[in-house]
Structure 1
């Protein structure tokens, strides 16, 4: 059904529709008496408009849905520089020489970290640094990846991952450059991310910490059982979504935040962080500046750390074995 035309209640009809006696009086009607606007028939709501549910605050406009606005919202929690890939070698302990306090720590080893590619805002929609680590045989590398490594001028890598950065200044490390353990400094905070150990199919007691059934009073072969999975008519005679039940445990991405760097060994590519790290030994780990702490005053490119690395290498060469 087409929309109704607006009704012009305050306008005079055309002159040819008026009687001759009234038509002669038209010059005497002042122009100010004619309405200055056209009245449109509509419905006026007496209720105040509801706030937009997509706005982060009722008194502020709705969040913008453009990609530029999305990057601006994520900017405060995006690191300024790239992270590195490391392997978990195991756990040990470090003693403070002054207080004698023992601190449990994890040893991470960097294996030939090199920058493979840069992701830019104009071409890819975001800023990121693609880092490769390890070594992979040419026979086990696909031809597209061989061409990708050839363009970067690096050998085939076993692991290739991306690290998002805040802006163009985070691309200070050029493609093909090698980044060592001196990229991190002692005392700074890092976030580590890895795949946790896979436990396989586990029950509710081990997976979620359920207490199990009573150990006596008629319980038969149900001591470690989960129990009821839902109500009857009160919950719709069904199992509610998200119910904690037995299932696959582990083998998922885990991020441990705010780990402090205790030691850095550039010659051996060792970075020691306090606390535990997800995954078994030799698990690949992503190490990046902590988002919950102030950004470290670390190097943004290799030229900032090359004098320190050169001095350390020269000292190691002059030290007798």
Structure 2
């Protein structure tokens, strides 16, 4: 993340994202698969990094070994073909995009950190400082209901940020500048789709 300064003196927080180039690895149609979609591959890796099934899928269409394969639904797939290179030129300045990725993992966390629970009293003999307290009634129902807010894995989940505006495009370095923050830490793998 960084910031961009406008002539009016406004400082706008932005995120710089490296985009592609990505290869179209498969085209799915309603006749063969029941829906229209394209599969896109990204990040070329050594052959030893992939399974035989993944290598066979890419070798069949004559493409190099790609680490990430992702599907995107399209109504009209006639403009795509296998092996086509998708670059940053598919985006426009001012366009709104949805960006999804894994959020930063914070490990096994308690209820105060995970759900913003209030703490208990710190003095007068209190022995319940950060404990969650009662988790339900006794004999009836005699169990804890599913979905109860309790300690557990915090973060490391798929998060989507909607309608981020594209403020800059660098075609030479394949960089996209979007307003605001995106999920995850630096180096995170992201999915970028046009906002409807």
TM above 0.5, yes or no, is: yes
Establish whether residue 118 from structure 1 lines up as the match of residue 23 from structure 2.
Answer: no
Greater RCO, CA 8 A, separation 6+: 2
Name the structure 2 match of 1:172.
79
TM-score scaled by structure 1? 0.59
The whole-number CA distance in structure 1 between the counterparts of 2:92 and 2:37 is 22
Aligned position for 1:96: 6
Q: Number of aligned residue pairs: give it.
A: 196
TM-score relative to the length of structure 2? 0.94
Q: Which aligned pairs between 1:279-290 and structure 2 lie closer than 5 A?
A: 279-290=184-195
Partner of 1:238 in structure 2?
143
| 2:47 equivalent among 130, 138, 160 | 138
CA 1:139–1:240: 2 relative to 1, 3 Å: closer
- Structure 1's consecutive aligned runs of 4 or more residues displaced over 4 angstroms after TM superposition are none
Distance apart, 1:152 and its partner CA: 2.8
Task: Tell me if the contact between 2:99 and 2:182 (Cα under 8 Å) persists in the aligned partners.
Answer: yes
Q: CA deviation at 1:261?
A: 0.5
What residue ranges of structure 2 are gaps of 5+ in the alignment? none
Deviations 1:153-181 (A, max 9, x none): 3211111111112x2x2341211011111
The CA RMSD measured in Å over matched residues stands at 1.4
The runs of 5 or more residues in structure 1 that have no matched partner are: 1-90, 292-321
Q: Could you say which structure has the higher strand fraction? A: 2
Structure with bigger helix share is 1
Q: Which moved more, 1:130-139 or 1:145-154?
A: 145-154
Structure 1 Cα separation of the partners of residues 11 and 87 of structure 2: 27
Q: Does 1:229 align with 2:138?
A: no
